[in-house]
């Protein structure tokens, strides 16, 4: 009986020691609530990255009711270069009111003249990264920084690191 208790205690201590640093890093990320203010615009929107992919991309991180979500909004070109970016926050509000589970939706969201696509997924934390499913070979991760974040998409040969600038409307 004593050996069983010692083994159980040892496993518990090792588990706590292994998990605690990850939890601590995740708390550092979640303590920065400013990452949920406003939205993010992919660096290169209306530039060559957008022309290559044929759309501009915007991202919003949500935390409400104990749930954490990421929305990636893809607005097709050339239409994307003509919209007033002041409507982007309104679109994200409408997305959150409408969606309650992981999904891909194509819609005008009441603000656009052409349909855009949104990917809406739950996210979690692992070490100092936000992790979510993004349709790649492995989950995507987000590393928050001061004034921007980096989206890391796994690839066949190497990772793709995409910078998103933080936009906080006044």
Closest CA to 78 of 107, 123, 114, 106: 114
pLDDT by 10s per residue, the chain, length 170: 555 544 544 444 344 344 434 433 443 444 578 899 999 999 989 888 788 788 999 999 999 878 899 999 999 999 999 999 899 999 999 999 999 999 999 999 999 999 999 999 999 999 889 999 987 678 999 999 999 999 999 988 889 999 999 999 87
Q: What is the pLDDT of residue 31?
A: 57
Alpha-carbon gap, residue 51 to 77, rounded angstroms: 7
Alpha-carbon gap, residue 26 to 117, rounded angstroms: 29
Please check whether the domain covering 32-167 is classified as CATH 2.60.34.
no
Contact status, residue 59 vs residue 70, Cβ threshold 8 Å: yes
Q: What is the pLDDT of residue 27?
A: 37
Total residues belonging to the chain: 170
Phi-psi region of 9 (alpha: psi -120 to 50; beta: other; left: phi over 0): alpha
Q: What is the pLDDT of residue 8?
A: 42
Q: What is the pLDDT of residue 1?
A: 52
Every domain of the chain and the residues it spans: 32-167
Residue 30 has, within 13 A of its CA and on its CB side, a CA count of 18
Contact status, residue 170 vs residue 48, Cβ threshold 8 Å: no
Residue 27 has, within 13 A of its CA and on its CB side, a CA count of 6
- Whose tokens are 């159980």? That residue is 8
């Amino acid at each position: 009986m004593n050996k069983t208790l010692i083994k159980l205690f040892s496993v518990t201590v090792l588990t706590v020691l292994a998990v605690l640093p990850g939890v601590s890093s995740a708390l550092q990320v979640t303590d920065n609530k400013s990452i949920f203010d406003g939205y993010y615009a992919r660096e290169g929107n209306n530039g060559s990255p957008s022309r290559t992919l044929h759309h501009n991309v915007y991202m919003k991180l949500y935390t409400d009711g104990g749930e954490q979500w990421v929305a990636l909004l893809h607005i097709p070109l050339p239409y994307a270069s003509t919209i007033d970016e002041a409507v982007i926050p309104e679109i994200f509000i409408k997305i959150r009111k409408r969606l309650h589970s992981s999904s891909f939706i194509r819609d005008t969201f009441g603000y656009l003249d052409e349909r855009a696509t949104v990917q809406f997924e739950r996210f979690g934390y692992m070490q100092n990264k936000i992790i979510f499913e993004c349709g790649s070979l492995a989950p995507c991760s987000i590393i928050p920084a001061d004034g921007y974040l980096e989206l890391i998409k796994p690839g066949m040969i190497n990772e793709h690191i995409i910078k998103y600038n933080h936009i906080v409307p006044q």
